[in-house]
Amino acid sequence: MKKPQLFLAAGQIALAVSILLGRFVKDSAFVSFSIGLLTGLSLVFNLAFLINYRKEKSK
């Protein structure tokens, strides 16, 4: 991938939205699902960035 920083940015945005949803939105099943989904996406994107960063660093 040409710009692995996009993974990092997407992960940070997903985590920020997840935190904001948990803090300011009334709890319901859909909100809980969204928080879990966004937290999982954040983990995946941040790990993908770290893996790509390590591969580029070793070259």
Q: How distant, in Å, are the alpha carbons of 4, 28, 29, 48, 56 from that of 42?
A: 14, 21, 20, 10, 21
Task: Check residue 27 and give its pLDDT.
Answer: 93
User: Which residues in the chain land under pLDDT 70?
Assistant: 1
Q: Give the domain extent around 15.
A: 5-58
Task: Check residue 22 and give its pLDDT.
Answer: 95
Task: Check residue 45 and give its pLDDT.
Answer: 96
d(CA 31, CA 27): 6
Task: Check residue 18 and give its pLDDT.
Answer: 97
Task: Check residue 1 and give its pLDDT.
Answer: 65
Number of structural domains (the chain) is: 1
